[in-house]
Structure 1
Amino acid sequence: MPGITYVRGDATAPQGKGVKLIVHVCNDLGGWGKGFVLALSRRWPEPEAAYRRWHRERAGNDFGLGAVQFVQVSPYVWVANMVGQRGMRTGSNGVPVRYEAIDEGLRKAAVRAAGLGASVHMPRIGCGLAGGTWSRIEPLITERLVKAGVEVTVYDHG
């Protein structure tokens, strides 16, 4: 069975052969300006443009917690904009991360990865600005991706 491989490196430069799906967490407010998304935007303009359009046109689409938008950025690389964060700040409702939304987003990512024959690549999603803990995210990745036969690489920058 595949597993989760941890490497030091940049998740916007995924390692290995074949089709790669980069999964990351977005907020539900249409904001794109801090954290991993900045690294994505430095490499490709398409994920940010697609996310902003998706949010702007949300009255007529599936934009919301648990939704995932798949954006092809090169012949072998796709980016999954996964809405797994309510708002952008820690407040009376706690941290912005929404584990149920990440779980649902990972389920959708697993289906797309299988359809593309892709491996999945990500930073430690939901654990930066979203305020989540890896001990709660990692089992979701195992349940949704690894058990579905998807090879996952998690990148720790540095």
Structure 2
Amino acid sequence: MTGGIRYIRGDATSPQAKGVKVIAHVSNDAGGWGKGFVLALSRRWREPEAAYRKWHRERARNDFGLGAVQFVQVERDIWVANMIGQHGIRTGGQGKPVRYPAIDTALGGVATRALELGASVHMPRIGCGLAGGRWEMVEPLVIRNLVERRVPVAVYDFD
């Protein structure tokens, strides 16, 4: 336990807790779904990908964009939070796709929903895989938005 976050070796798509759980992860604003943690989500449930793709496809008529979060119920007591915290999908000349302010905003939305549901939040080290972010930048956002609002948080490191 560091800063109120419980660190677990395991799979974030199989949250280790009782009660309602929200699995939070970072997605991009380009409509791409097919690499990284989303593959594990798609192997377990089809709904998060289908909802994300529809949300992106209909973005002219909804809130899809950096900082937005979409909640998809996948089991009676499990929700997936598709958080838009990555601009584009490539690292290179444009810099890393991670957008910390967008992750910060999205985590605020996750906290509000978790509190409404009485849920704990489970996640990989969001924004630190394909998005190219650094956990030492993301962890304080998790602490401020979730832990300080008394939302139980578990971060999973997959072996």
TM class by smaller structure: over 0.9
In the alignment, what sits opposite 2:124? Answer: 123
Q: 1:8-157 to 2 correspondence within 5 Å? A: 8-157=9-158
Equivalent residue letter for 2:11: D
- Give SS of 1:125's match: coil
Q: Which runs of structure 1 show a deviation greater than 2 angstroms over 4 or more consecutive aligned residues?
A: none
Equivalent residue letter for 1:13: S
Total equivalences in the alignment: 157
Cα distance in 1, alignment partners of residues 73 and 17 from structure 2: 17
| TM-score of the two chains, using structure 1 as the length reference | 0.98
CA drift at 1:94: 1.0
| TM-score of the two chains, using structure 2 as the length reference | 0.97
Cα distance in 1, alignment partners of residues 92 and 50 from structure 2: 28
RMSD (CA atoms)? 0.8
Q: Which runs of 5+ in 1 are unaligned?
A: none
Cα distance in 2, alignment partners of residues 145 and 93 from structure 1: 30
Cα distance in 2, alignment partners of residues 144 and 119 from structure 1: 13
CA drift at 1:58: 0.3
In the alignment, what sits opposite 1:5? Answer: 6
CA drift at 1:141: 0.2
CA drift at 1:125: 0.3
Equivalent residue letter for 1:52: R
Equivalent residue letter for 1:69: Q
Cα distance in 2, alignment partners of residues 90 and 39 from structure 1: 22
Equivalent residue letter for 1:65: L
Equivalent residue letter for 1:88: I
Question: Cα deviations across residues 89-128 of structure 1 (Å, max 9, x unaligned)?
Answer: 1133310000000000000000000000000000000000
Equivalent residue letter for 1:119: S
Cα distance in 2, alignment partners of residues 101 and 29 from structure 1: 14
CA drift at 1:16: 1.1
- Give SS of 1:113's match: helix
Cα distance in 1, alignment partners of residues 64 and 93 from structure 2: 24
